[in-house]
Amino acid sequence: MAGPKSSSKPSTASSETYVAVSTLWKSYLDQTPDRLKFIDAFLAFTVLSGVLQFVYCVLVTNFPFNAFLAGFASSVGQFVLTASLRAQVNPENRSEFKEVSPERAFADFALGSIVLHFFVFNFLG
Partner 1 sequence: MVWQFSWLLLAATVQAASLSLQSPRFTISTPDATQLRSDTLSLTEKPEPLTLGPTDTLKLTFQITESDEGKGVQPHQTFLRFYDKASGEEGIQPVRVTPGGKAKFELNMVRPPASIPPTTHNPLEVSLILGSFVHAPAQYDLFDLYLPASQTPAEHPDEASFHVLPAIKHTFRPEQKSPPQFVSAVFAATVLSPWLVLIGLWSKIGVKVPNLFSLSIIPFTALLGAFEVLLVWYWVDLKLGQVLLYGGILAIPTVFAGKQALYATGEWRAGRK
53 part of the interface to partner 1, by CB under 8 A: yes
66 part of the interface to partner 1, by CB under 8 A: no
Contact 66, 123 (CB under 8 A): yes
Contact 60, 110 (CB under 8 A): no
Beta carbons within 10 angstroms of residue 83's beta carbon = 14
Q: Shortest gap between Cβ of 10 and partner 1 (angstroms)? A: 32
Residue 13 has φ and ψ, to the nearest 5°, of -65, -35
- Interface pick for partner 1 out of 58, 60, 95, 98 (rule CB under 8 A): 60
- Interface pick for partner 1 out of 5, 26, 37, 94 (rule CB under 8 A): 37
Q: Residue 30 and residue 52: Cα distance in Å, rounded? A: 30
Q: Residue 54 and residue 62: Cα distance in Å, rounded? A: 9
Stretch that binds partner 1, among 5-13, 14-22, 60-68, 92-100 (CB under 8 A): 60-68
Which residues sit at the interface with partner 1, rule CB under 8 A? 34-35, 37-38, 41-42, 44-45, 48-49, 52-53, 56, 60-61, 63, 71, 101-104, 106-107, 110, 114, 117-118, 121-122, 124
